[in-house]
Amino acid sequence: MPKLKSKILVVDDNAGIRSALKILLPTRFSDVELIATPKALISTMQTFKPDVVLLDMNFEADINTGNEGLFWLAELKKRFQDVEVVLFTAYADIALAVEGMKRGAFDFVVKPWDNAKLLAILEEASKKHRHVASDDVEQDKPQMIWGNSEAMQNLRHMVEKIAPTEASVLITGENGTGKDVLANEIHRLSQRSGKQMVSVDIGAITETLFESEMFGHVKGAFTDAHADHIGKFEQANGTTLFLDEIGNIPLSEQAKLLRVLQNRSVNRVGDTKTIPIDIRLICATNMNLAEMVKQGRFREDLYYRINTVPLHLPPLRERQDEIVTLAMLFVERYAEKYHRQAKGLSDDAKTLLLNCKWSGNIRELQGYIEKAVIMSDNEIIGKDDLQINDSQLIDVQNKTQSQTLDDAEEQVIRNAMKKYNGNLSLVAKALNISRPTLYNRLKKYGI
């Protein structure tokens, strides 16, 4: 098999491992560099310019936490974004390796390693590096899943009516319900969809930097202002500005935000020049802003300014017919992202998902599926792969608070039958189950 014209950098403090890899890796890769400590990592990156880094997760003799590996992974992804990182870890540190993949690592290899598997993973990583897709952002673009519940269908109808307008929108809902995804859907259907929506997490901006981040500043406006900075409002000129977690904006900054929204213009910090802005505003929050207004923690005039059209996104527990669809979408997404062979969910796994509380909503579901895809070696994700414990399940004994498992399953099937007018092939496909399984379920529930 011919060598790949790829550069591999190995960072491992074990001399025996480096010696073994010094013999193995050159059989498949044109250039291989090995270093014993991450202290030389950044300088070696700049001179050697590797395609892939095989990074050990522990370097201190008396420390075995994997934190060193996560730290250097973050440094690599920050400074050399296109370089792929494969983590080298002991079996006991697999959980940390999974966390590393969530933070941008290409994959992980467990010691002692299988030569063929190690070479295959490094080869895939080097190929990805050479074909860094400019459409990565497009692949990760969230998708809006509309369920069949009355609440979600009403919401969809409202979105289709207001999206083409310039009306300000306030999206409310619990954490993890997908408020950002709904905002993207509104923007996609708007007249401004030709330009990318600008998103801001208000909760991540400190009070001292609020004006600079939102409205911009000019060079010399304050101590660290070494150059002009364009704020989020200017960046969103001509498109949609999405302010997530708007309830976190400090009271002292609310008047400044209100003034910009009223005047449709900004003044950069340290400048007297007025800059017109043309934006469509969408805000989101998990807080009760009306109650905050009563408590004096949120300005009433600002509340009415951002709340022209209120939209409420129901929690996932009230959107049962979306759970399996979302889960399958996440399986496909993470199988591609992490180069795993997972293609679907077993019937037991689907039933388990339908019987969870999902207090963290879609974000929680996404996390479980992501971990299951990473850890499973099977094409079909099973019940045990999900690692969901009993405390996360609905109390089926208390029917006043939740549906029983059978009730939930029956409702999902009835909704699908209604949606597809009894076409069993379409229903089975939508539910990701076989026709014989569907026949059994129909018989069981007398549908």
16-30, 66-80, 252-266, 345-359: the lowest-pLDDT one? 66-80
Q: Is the pLDDT of residue 168 over 90?
A: yes
Handedness of CA 192, 195, 199, 205 (dihedral sign): negative
Q: What is the CA radius of gyration of the chain?
A: 26
Instruction: Categorize the per-residue pLDDT at 67 as very low, low, confident or very high, splitting at 50, 70 and 90.
Output: confident
pLDDT score for 132: 45
Q: Is the pLDDT of residue 117 over 60?
A: yes
pLDDT tens digits, one per residue of 385-409: 999 988 888 764 444 344 556 677 8
Q: What is the mean pLDDT of residues 167-184?
A: 96
DSSP string, 358-373: -TTHHHHHHHHHHHHH
pTM: 0.63
Percent of the chain with pLDDT over 90: 59
Between the alpha carbon of residue 170 and those of residues 329, 363, 376, the distances in Å are: 27, 20, 40
Q: Is the pLDDT of residue 361 over 90?
A: yes
pLDDT score for 349: 95
Read off the amino acid at residue 241: L
Q: Is the pLDDT of residue 360 over 90?
A: yes
Residue 124's nearest CA partner among 107, 139, 137, 101 is 107
Q: What is the mean pLDDT of residues 111-128?
A: 90
pLDDT score for 262: 95
Q: Is the pLDDT of residue 317 over 50?
A: yes
pLDDT score for 204: 86
Pairing of strands 198-201, 169-172: unpaired
Instruction: Categorize the per-residue pLDDT at 26 as very low, low, confident or very high, splitting at 50, 70 and 90.
Output: very high
pLDDT score for 66: 60
Percent of the chain with pLDDT over 70: 92
Q: Which residue has the higher pLDDT, 400 or 345?
A: 345
**Inter-residue contact 160 to 141 (CB < 8 Å):** no
Q: Is the pLDDT of residue 439 over 90?
A: no
pLDDT score for 65: 59
DSSP string, 29-77: EEEEEEES-GGGHHHHHHHH--SEEEEES--STT--SSHHHHHHHHHHH
pLDDT score for 79: 86
pLDDT tens digits, one per residue of 120-134: 999 989 887 765 433
Provide CB contacts within 8 A for 268, sequence distance 6+. Answer: 215, 216, 217, 218, 221, 228, 229, 231, 275
Pairing of strands 275-276, 265-266: antiparallel
Which of helix, strand or coil describes residue 379?
coil
Sheet holding 280-285, edge to edge: 198-201, 240-244, 280-285, 169-172, 309-312
Q: Is the pLDDT of residue 139 over 50?
A: no
DSSP letter, residue 257: H
Q: Is the pLDDT of residue 243 over 70?
A: yes
Residue 193's nearest CA partner among 231, 238, 253 is 238
34-48, 125-139, 165-179, 302-316: the lowest-pLDDT one? 125-139
Q: Provide the β-strand partners of residue 318.
A: none
pLDDT score for 261: 96
Q: Which residue has the tokens 């390693």?
A: 113
Pairing of strands 380-381, 265-266: unpaired
pLDDT tens digits, one per residue of 190-235: 999 989 999 999 988 888 889 999 999 999 888 878 888 899 999 9
Question: Which structural domains are found in the chain, ordered by start?
Answer: 4-132 (3.40.50.2300), 150-312 (3.40.50.300), 317-445 (1.10.8.60)
The number of C-alpha atoms within 13 Å of 111 and in the hemisphere containing its C-beta is 19
Instruction: Categorize the per-residue pLDDT at 306 as very low, low, confident or very high, splitting at 50, 70 and 90.
Output: very high
pLDDT score for 138: 41
Residue 51's nearest CA partner among 104, 101, 4, 6 is 6
pLDDT score for 63: 52
